[in-house]
Amino acid sequence: MQELRQLTESLKSLEDEICGCMRCGLCQSVCPLFAQTLNEADVARGKLSLLNGLASEMLKDADGVKQRLDKCLLCGSCAANCPSGVSALNIFMKARVILTAYQGLSQPKRLIFRGMLSHPQFFNKLLEIGTKFQSLFTKPASELLGTSCSKLMSPLIGNRHFTPLADIPFHKRYSAKDTQAGKSGLKAAFYYGCLTDKVYPRIGEAVLKVLDHHGVGVFMPDNQACCGIPAL
């Protein structure tokens, strides 16, 4: 009963935020997904219309709602350009949380998140092993982009490119930091996340250099874990 009450309150809060959308369609002009699909339902305006009656839509076709929400890239372009100041990005994230709470996690996701991603050291060790053997299953695809493609899965996914795991993850390049504010008088907490850590460590390095250049203190703890967004 308590969970149902919380779900109801979350739905009410979500509907209050959606009311700010005036359906102007400006989000359509900046949505990278719409540029590819030309489908109105893929635009923030279309998704907000869907979410306006999320409770009834979940009961009718929860999987359909999830499929529509999963199409969002969470790039934030719609929110950044909304003249009404509607934070569509936050709304979509909240909707995903509500939908996940309603449907629950699938068994594979439950195993991954509770058994692996909730234990950072174990997850890091697995990916360290994966880094050593990834060349057996991947082949270079673009020297310019630094991407690879699969040797074994090509019949299924074609020559789809992806960025391989970094040889040395970010957490191995930089230990925990807790520096005082410099000339800026500011201090920032830096959560680098899985992708920066395992795939794009140079982004993390660049962030630290920029913060240091501007005299911003950094708090960066060890053993950072998955943010949980893949669960949604």
Same domain for 7 and 98, yes or no, is yes
Range of the structural domain that residue 212 is part of: 170-224
Note whether residue 163 is domain-resident. no
CA geometry: angle at 30 spanning 87 and 23, to 5°? 55
pLDDT tens digits, one per residue of 161-174: 888 899 999 999 99
pLDDT tens digits, one per residue of 71-106: 888 888 988 999 988 888 888 888 888 888 888 888
- Give residue 157's pLDDT band: very low, low, confident or very high (50, 70, 90): low
Same domain for 48 and 119, yes or no, is no
> Is 145's pLDDT higher than 90?
no
Task: Please indicate, yes or no, whether the overall pTM of this predicted structure exceeds 0.85.
Answer: no
pLDDT at position 207 is 97
CATH label of the domain that carries residue 26:
1.10.1060
Same domain for 64 and 37, yes or no, is yes
